[in-house]
Structure 1
Amino acid sequence: MARLNLLEETRFEKLPVSIFKNPKEASLSVANRIASLIKEKQQKNEKAVLGLATGATPVAVYAELVRLHKEEGLSFKNVITFNLDEYYPMQPNAVQSYVVFMNENLFNHIDIDKNNVHIPDGTLKLEEIPAFCLNYEKKIESVGGLDIQILGIGRTGHIGFNEPGSAPNSGTRLVTLDDLTRRDAARDFGGKSNVPTKAITMGIGTIFKAKEIILMAWNKKKASIIKKAVEGEISSEVPATYLQLSDNVEFILDEDAASCLTRFNTPWLARDCDWQPALTRKAVIWLARHLKKPILKLTEDDYNNHGMAQLATEHGPVYDINIDIFNKLQHTITGWPGGKPNADDSQRPERANPAKKRAIVFSPHPDDDVISMGGTFIRLADQGHEVHVAYQTSGNTAVWDDDVLRFVEFNIDFSEKMGIDQTNMRKTYEEMREFMANKRPNQVDTEEIKLVKGLIRKGEAIAGARFSGLPDEHIHFMALPFYETGKVKKNPVSEIDVQLTMELLQQVKPHQVFAAGDFEDPHGTHIVCFNIIVEALRRLKTTEDWVNDCWLWMYRGAWHEFEPHEIEMAVPLSPNEVERKKLAIFKHQSQKDIPVFPGDDPREFWQRAEDRNRETARIYDDLGLADYEAMEAFVRFHF
């Protein structure tokens, strides 16, 4: 019976999928499989031939293999490796090269014979590439083929650099990179313009010849493409779907990467469910949106025809279910994000008392506050609450070099007019110009340049917070040390990051904390900053009583919004408040027009925020609730 239930749950999935709680557990499993293969081959005096991938996904796998070598004696002397791909053109000593990546994450830490390491050559002349690719294939065949091929997956559905349009029988070759792939790599290269437009990659046909294929994916950022790869029709538009044709493939996912699969996202379509309130709410809202009907107009036939007959039978009549969900959604809406004084708060998202609250808005970057919750930020100040804002990082990697020169030139001209000696400033200015003229992609800025970039963003943040109604003494700049590397890759969080956050919380003793809750990028600044806040509050909870009366609200960034079934507080904005929010965002001039890290959305940040807030309001309207100009959404974090 258990097997039958599993088949029912997975009937949408067209290839084997194994799901682990988190990336660490999944990575350990993959590393152990590789180690077992190596040992098995050693016992037979044979070579273990590994196809390896790069990127963030396999890093923990390689770390565990290194640990097994250093602590448990796993030898790699019998291992031959072939990497999937390499950018073209690419020097092997460039920080973005896959040669450097593999050496830093694996090869420099194990006893592998470097003659057994094969990585596509990014330094070849164009006319040399076809012969190299053919020889790469022959080398794989000459050692008996790949025993295991490790894969990640890109958001285009590419495996290796086999982009949409790739043929299932393709071999190793030079390819042109998809624009989305290049945008995703932009941070590593200091901007998309520096990302190579081509790459040398193993073909899908090459990958298919491996005796075992393991595709790994972590975090919600990969969830939508994983659903297409696992459940979608085979198509050249999503090259990973070709893996459905293999008998030797397995997808290894963490829970977040698997979250869009039918058995997790809409389980009522796959099996009988335990209809707890949260699942009921999600299903009813899904049904209304799927059918484009208001909640109160859903019928028993709608439930029966869309996998929800069990819900109707066990908890019906369906109109009562509809009313219950409609009321729950209606109760999320409030124009009083700090709580409405002297009101019955039993059905409201926030407490009525105390009538005037202390609130602190934590902003990972210097503009997340106004972009993500600017309307609520302004509303809290307007309604007389003691509002603080804490900018957790300087954001100094996201300023154009031209802006630095412009600000220093202004300082020189202003000082001259004021009769202030500018000898040292001019010297520094010339050094900056010389550095920038020879600057390599993603090269760390000098301390002086980092300082100016940080000051630019600080000035903009002050202007935005003042415009939102905050006095200067309520504007805090934390400059958390983990961020101050000058690089896209940041340092690990340290004790001082947590201590600085605890000190600020102890100073303010807030009733409300607002923090960025956008976790799709597991290595992003947002989730790092959020985890620091949570750790600080957890520690303080053991010693300070005020923490027990402190509520933590999560907002989303400029990229995504909470799903409607997740929202616990929706703050409606009037047309005037939408305009005030936009003007607060405009204070961040260095992020206007084309920011350094725009992501894959061509709209400016104010446009993304405005459209996102209007879309939230439209969804509420479509579900049958009041029609507002815009809405900002929040979810409460429960310890």
Structure 2
Amino acid sequence: MESLEKKLNSINKRLTYYENIPTVIYKDSSEASVAIAHEIASLIKDKAKKNEHAVLGLATGSTPVGVYDELVRLHKEEGLSFKNVITFNLDEYYPIQPDSLQSYVRFMHEHLFDSIDIPENQVHIPDGTIPEEDIYDYCDQYEAKIEEAGGIDIQLLGIGRTGHIGFNEPGSRPDSTTRLITLDKITRKDAASDFFGEEYVPRRAITMGVGTIMKSKKIILMAWGEGKANIIKESVEGDIKESIPATYLQEHDNTAIVLDTAASEKLMRINTPWLLSSCKWDDELVRKAVVWLCQKLDKPILKLTDENYNENGMADLITKQGPAYSINIKVFNELQHTITGWPGGKPNEDDKYRPERREPFPKRAIVFSPHPDDDVISMGGTLIRLVDHGHEVHIAYQTSGNIAVFDDDVVRFADFVLDYTEAFDMKEQKAEKLFRKINDFLKSKKPGQVDSPEVKKIKGLIRRGEAKAGGRYCGVPDENMHFMEMPFYETGRVKKKPLSDEDIQITVDLLREVKPHQIYAAGDLSDPHGTHRVCLKAIFEALEIVKNDDWAKDCWVWLYRGAWQEWDVNEIEMAVPLSPIELKRKRRAIFKHQSQKDRPLFPGSDTREFWQRSEDRNRGTAKVYDDLGLAEYEAIEGFVRYHFRD
């Protein structure tokens, strides 16, 4: 794997002159995290040879976890010592106790400090328990300790949706120092899942200032996932402005932005490389460029002219593959061939230009659903269509989804059980005892406290019952609904355990039991809690194990999106159109998940209900097809094929 330093040195300036900060892109966050960890390890070793301290500025949140995991591995397996390391954390909520689930003190000890040999007195994290009248002096002392240590050698940063670094919200001054700040509404909304509700998120935090960060000798800002793509573009390619504090990093002479592929997708060199340099025009890039040109000019594909291409940075394409008419026809046909009303393949028809093969028919299909409602939210219309066409459809609910249920729903269901036993003159002693135990626990439960086993069980059963109702509405029989309850999820907290061999084996066993011709899996990796990402990784690793099985040689994998975002039209390889009636059927299937209706516990940054997000995205996709000059539909669900045997 190429080191971070090598990647920085080999950046092609011709391709990146729109970027105001050196930016390197790795295939995925795991590879990027390892590279960053090795950069830190090199600093620690170099400083140790000189008998000096390495001073690290550390960040929290999901973004740096992979870096910390690799540092721990280097310590345990390769003997990397942290005895010469001094650390300063960026921020901490205020007020908060250090043993709180959401405390950054707890986070750092769980993810790093408890697993390495760093001396306790060399660890510094802002104190969320300081009396408010002492905070000003405390912050000054924090600054003084950094200076006394010789300044920060490497500062790790994540980035928020508002462009905040640390907790320096929009409006923060470039010379600001460590201080108490009020959190932005968007920041609090994004933190709501960690605190089990926005109302429990502290309104303030202690943070290093922008000026403090800018004094660091080297800064590494990390961003993973599609959800960070827009703010990364603004931070890297936009002007410096106080409304996006991350843009201040453009004035630092040793900053690197490190991204995975998904977080880089809006950068010009990734999104529109033809505007920067000559391109190697493969079919995928041509389609992307033509769709972009149509949207820029608000013209359908077949109306694009040579002049349109020449005047919008695509003269090179016309020269190599023109005239415009030929390119237009080719791309139009490619997009048209993605549309099918037969997601399982159409029997007795020529399938040369269809996205799915006609045989075998009917097929066995398995729809993997990370949470108990992702199946109907993201591909409910296609699921119903597969059942209507006579395919054997299975749904695999990968996790219980039990943390996403409100406590009052538990009381309501427990109360129902108690009333049920009374109504049918059944022995009610056990039910009454259980109800009292649950009620007592919930009355004394603190925000963010892990649920008792009984409460977790009931929450899981609520989600399971809703999933069954949704599956039945779609026509899937009970015996074809599989509740995997993958162990990585069952912590009772937003923070999950790492993916284990047991999780992968559960997936392998189910695949070998069903022997599907089609697999549908969630490729929607912007899920803010990371569950989708872990579930997809489990499927990919399971497919590696089974890929040489006889049945797997005739199995196709389709990735869906919809709960958090949608595929771009130029990416879609199978587009399943939905009529107004089918869209209504999909909505009713989603409505079966009553605990997620009206106000889901973890809504993320999108205030719309999941059914509204889904319909808006499906209608939006259909409109793009229509605007490009293709057939007009009410809605479209899009899929991208994953080739696991290549």
Q: Give the TM-score taking structure 2 as reference length.
A: 0.94
Partner of 2:641: 636
Give the superposition deviation at 1:57: 2.3
Change (3 A) 1:359 1:201: same
Tell me the SS of whatever aligns to 1:50.
Answer: strand
Deviation, 1:449, is 1.2
- Deviation string, structure 1 residues 571-629 (Cα, Å, up to 9, x no partner): 11111111111111111111100111111111111111111111011111111111111
Cα distance between partner residues in 2 of 1:460 and 1:39: 54
Q: Identify the residue that residue 245 of structure 1 maps to in structure 2.
A: 251
Cα displacement string for residues 423-475 of structure 1 (whole angstroms, at most 9, x for unaligned residues): 11111111111111221233222221112111111111111111112223322
The alpha carbon displacement at 1:163 in A equals: 0.9
Could you say which residue in structure 1 is the equivalent of 2:553? 548
| Matching of residues 382-393 of structure 1 within 5 Å | 382-393=388-399
Distance across 1 between alignment mates of 2:70 and 2:582:
51
Whole-angstrom distance in 2 between the partners of 1:269 and 1:138: 47
Name the residue aligned to 2:570: 565
Per-residue displacement from partner, 1:212-253 (whole Å, max 9, x unpaired)?
222222333322221111111111121100111111222223
- Cα contact 1:219–1:521 (8 A) shared by 2: no
Aligned residue number for residue 216 of structure 2: 210
Name the structure 2 match of 1:163.
169
- Whether 2:228 is the aligned partner of 1:222: answer yes
Letter in 2 for 1:374: G
Show the counterpart of 1:433.
439
RMSD across aligned C-alpha pairs, in angstroms? 2.0
The within-5 A match list for 1:257-406 is: 257-406=263-412
In the alignment, what sits opposite 2:483?
A: 477
Which residue does 2:5 correspond to in 1?
Answer: none
Whole-angstrom CA distance in 2 between matches of 1:354 and 1:12: 50
Q: 1:494 aligns with which of 470, 489, 500?
A: 500
**In 2, Cα distance between the equivalents of 1:206 and 1:4?**
29
Q: 1:140 to 1:382 in 2, by over 3 A?
A: same
CA contact (8 A) 2:25 2:259 kept: yes
In the superposition, relative to structure 1, how do residues 395 and 346 fare at CA in structure 2: closer, same or farther (>3 Å)?
Answer: same
Aligned to 1:535: 541
Aligned ranges for residues 69-218 of structure 1 at < 5 Å? 69-218=75-224
Distance between the aligned counterparts of 1:393 and 1:533, measured in 2? 13
Which residue in 2 is equivalent to 1:415? Answer: 421
- Hey, what's the Cα distance between the residues in 2 that align with 1:497 and 1:4? 39
Q: 1:559 to 1:69 in 2, by over 3 A?
A: closer
Deviations 1:63-94 (A, max 9, x none): 33334444554443443322111111111121
Distance 1:49 1:541, change over 3 A: closer
CA distance in structure 2 between the aligned counterparts of 1:602 and 1:300, rounded to whole angstroms: 43
Distance 1:634 1:73 in 2: 46
Q: 1:634 to 1:25 in 2, by over 3 A?
A: closer
CA contact (8 A) 1:5 1:271 kept: no
Report which stretch shifted further, 42-51 or 465-474.
42-51
Identify the range of structure 1 (502-511 vs 418-427) with the bigger mean alpha-carbon deviation. Answer: 502-511
Cα deviation, 1:111-155, whole Å, max 9, x if unaligned, reads: 333223222111122222122112222222233322222222112
Q: What per-residue deviation string (whole Å, max 9, x for no partner) do you get for residues 506-550 of structure 1? A: 33332222111112359622232223333333333323x222222
Aligned mates of 1:501, 1:76 — CA distance in 2: 38
> 1:632 aligns to what SS in structure 2?
strand
Q: What letter is aligned with 2:281?
A: W
- Structure 1 Cα separation of the partners of residues 601 and 624 of structure 2: 32
Q: Which runs of 5+ in 1 are unaligned?
A: none
Aligned length: 636
1:604 matched to which residue of 2? Answer: 609
Larger CA deviation: 449-458 vs 139-148: 139-148
Structure 1 pair 499/140, CA: closer, same or farther in 2 (3 Å)?
closer
Question: Contact (CA 8 Å) 1:26, 1:253: kept in 2 or not?
Answer: yes
Compared with structure 1, are the counterparts of its residues 550 and 22 closer, same or farther at alpha carbon in structure 2 (3 Å cutoff)? closer
SS at match of 2:379: helix
What SS does the corresponding residue of 1:9 show, helix, strand or coil?
A: helix
- 1: distance between equivalents of 2:487 and 2:117? 36
CA contact 1:517–1:557 (8 Å) conserved in 2: no
Does the alignment pair 1:615 with 2:602? Answer: no
What secondary structure sits across from 1:371 in the alignment?
A: helix
Say whether residues 1:457 and 2:463 are aligned partners.
yes
Equivalent residues of 2:524, 2:563 under 8 A apart: no
Decide whether aligned partners of structure 1 residues 514 and 60 sit closer, same or farther in structure 2, where only a CA change above 3 A counts. Answer: closer
Question: Contact between 2:528 and 2:604, CA under 8 Å: does it hold in 1?
Answer: no
Amino acid at match of 1:469: G
Q: TM-score, normalised by structure 1?
A: 0.95
Q: Secondary structure at the match of 2:278?
A: coil
